[in-house]
Amino acid sequence: MSIQHLLQMYTFHKIMVVKEVIVNPSHVYFSQDRGGERSEEVIVNPSQELKRPVGRKDAKEIEKKRKRSKNEHDDGGAAILEQLRADHLESKKQRNEHLKEMIQLAKERTEREKERDEREKKIEAHEQSEGDAKIMAVDTSVMGDIEREYFNSRKKEIIERIRTRSTTT
């Protein structure tokens, strides 16, 4: 930074009126005059640069560079997020497939249970009809009164059951 530049800055901003400038290798001394009085010397370190504020155009460029560098760093994060999303979707697909398999197995199991129940009902009905046929075939003429009464009541129950079955179907 030159001495002329410093002088121009001070006179431009009308901060002070500089009477003399003493240049030292490390500092620049200004003696000031304020309204006829001599004031203390102001020390300005030339190593400290007085920077102008950044203009609008430069500020926009700096912001663009900052965003670009930020976006470059975000790309790595975006790739990781994309991978996580893909893994999550894959796990959802696998879970859905597993649930579909479980539902299918449950349906098959209920069908097997229904078939087993139907077979058991048929077996019970067959056993019932065999028992009914044996009771209906019993000759009650040679039996005592109590036995005859028992078998006749059973025969009536069987006949009633057959009638109700035939009316419902």
**155 Cβ contact partners less than 8 Å away, ≥ 6 residues apart:** 135, 136
What pLDDT is stored for residue 36 in this prediction?
A: 52
**DSSP H or E segment with residue 93:** helix 56-137
CA–CA dist 9, 3 (Å, integer):
10
Tell me the per-residue pLDDT of 135-154, one tens digit each, with 9 for 90 and over. Answer: 999 888 888 999 999 999 99
Statement: residue 134 has pLDDT above 80: yes
- The more confident residue out of 6 and 35 is 6
For β-strands 28-34 and 42-44, DSSP reports them as antiparallel
The structure tokens listed for 124 are 């019970």
The structure tokens listed for 66 are 């900052």
Torsions phi, psi of 34, nearest 5? -115, 105
- The more confident residue out of 72 and 163 is 163
Helices and strands, counts by H and E, the chain: 3, 4
CA–CA dist 40, 30 (Å, integer):
9
Q: What pTM does this model have?
A: 0.41
- Average pLDDT, whole number, for the chain? 78
Tell me the per-residue pLDDT of 62-80, one tens digit each, with 9 for 90 and over. Answer: 888 888 776 665 566 777 8
C-alpha pair distances (Å), 149 with each of 52, 59, 67, 140, 165: 126, 116, 105, 9, 24
20: confidence class by pLDDT, cuts 50, 70, 90: very low
